[in-house]
Amino acid sequence: MDGFPMEDPKPPNKKKKQDQRLCFVNHNIERFELDDLLRASAQVLGSGSFGSSYKAALPGRHSYVVRRFRRMNNLSREDFSSHMARLGRLSHPNLVPLVAFHYTRDEKLLITKFIENGSLASHLHGNRGSGRPGLDWATCLRIIKGVARGLAYLYRELPTLCLPHGHLKSSNVLLHTNYQPLVADYASAPVMDKGHAEQLMAAYKSPESTESEGVTRKTDVWSLGILILEVLTGQFRASYLKQGRWPSSDLATWVGSVVGEEWAAEVLDRDMGGSAVGLLKIGKHCCEWDVERRWDMREAVERIQELEE
């Protein structure tokens, strides 16, 4: 597809110069203009509750992912820019860095670099493309450890956010060279419409997210646990967890029922090392139904890092 599609078929309002510019938060990136994105060859990557994502290939430069938000709140330009600047200051080898953003009343875009090696979901569930190998156990464990390090960093740097990530799932874990995991799509809750943020932000819904108490800082831990179990089984597809497909009670029951010795033996039959059982137990603790008994992110990350590769 030629040209990145704007939400409004009309061109951006040219009366306000600032409405046409991109605000760069990553100063190590060669600058480009919004018009460059509009003229770039565009490929739809996905569309969901939050909006749409496109790959924009700039001639002679890097390719970028452009995310268009839906259901945004009414944050002022100043407040939106302040949150984006905060995200732009984040720097960790296991996070996808924010490059730039665009703000108008009707159009809000986030720009990140395109990661060529695809998502963890595509590697786990067979959409790997020709010539792309599957993931062995050692690689899977390194990926989980990298994800855990990225989450730990978010929790340290964004202590005031209830959900420092808020949308963790295997399709939001991208794989760089040598399968280095890069966590994407984090810390969007503050700019989401408040009526939809808690409903939509947890990709793998925890029990509390559908009950009166709502999400907590341990909701991300639940999502990490489901991600761990998805990696261990290789069969627990994110598509099964689309909004409304499975009640959270059924999901929690499944999580509890699979963690048994016989099932663990089946996992080990798949050439996984002894640390697979340890990771399995960590996944179970992360998916504890009782929020008070569920590990917090610090403990989950520490236990994951203790596993031997």
- The answer to whether position 9 is within a domain reads no
The answer to whether residues 141 and 169 belong to one domain is yes
Query: What is the Rg, in whole angstroms, of the alpha carbon atoms belonging to the chain?
Result: 20
- The answer to whether position 3 is within a domain reads no
The answer to whether residues 180 and 256 belong to one domain is yes
For 97, other C-beta atoms within 10 Å of its C-beta total: 18
- The answer to whether position 5 is within a domain reads no
The last residue of one of the domains, among 94, 113, 132, is 113
Quick one: how far is CA 149 from the chain centroid? 14
**Beta-carbon contacts of residue 240 (< 8 Å; ≥ 6 apart):** 246
- The answer to whether position 7 is within a domain reads no
The answer to whether residues 36 and 128 belong to one domain is no
The answer to whether residues 109 and 186 belong to one domain is no
The answer to whether residues 130 and 109 belong to one domain is no
Quick one: how far is CA 69 from the chain centroid? 15
* Sequential pLDDT tens for the chain (309 residues): 556 565 543 444 444 555 678 999 988 888 999 999 888 888 888 876 667 899 999 987 889 999 988 667 678 899 999 999 999 999 999 999 999 999 988 888 999 999 989 999 988 886 555 444 568 888 999 999 999 999 999 999 999 988 899 889 998 999 998 999 999 999 987 887 666 665 555 557 777 776 656 778 898 999 999 899 888 877 654 444 444 444 444 445 555 665 555 556 655 445 566 688 889 889 889 988 889 999 999 999 999 999 987
The answer to whether residues 108 and 135 belong to one domain is no
pLDDT of residue 196: 61
What pTM, to 2 d.p., does this model score? Answer: 0.85
- The answer to whether position 169 is within a domain reads yes
The last residue of one of the domains, among 86, 113, 140, is 113
* Domain count within the chain: 2
pLDDT of residue 246: 45
Name which of 247, 121, 260 is nearest 184 in CA terms.
Answer: 121
Query: CATH code at 283?
Result: 1.10.510.10
Q: Domain limits at 186? A: 120-306
The answer to whether residues 99 and 144 belong to one domain is no
Query: CATH code at 74?
Result: 3.30.200.20
The answer to whether residues 173 and 153 belong to one domain is yes
Q: How many CA atoms lie within 13 A of 235 on its CB side?
A: 3
**Residue-level length of the chain:** 309
The answer to whether residues 50 and 68 belong to one domain is yes
The answer to whether residues 154 and 246 belong to one domain is yes
The answer to whether residues 174 and 287 belong to one domain is yes
The answer to whether residues 217 and 294 belong to one domain is yes
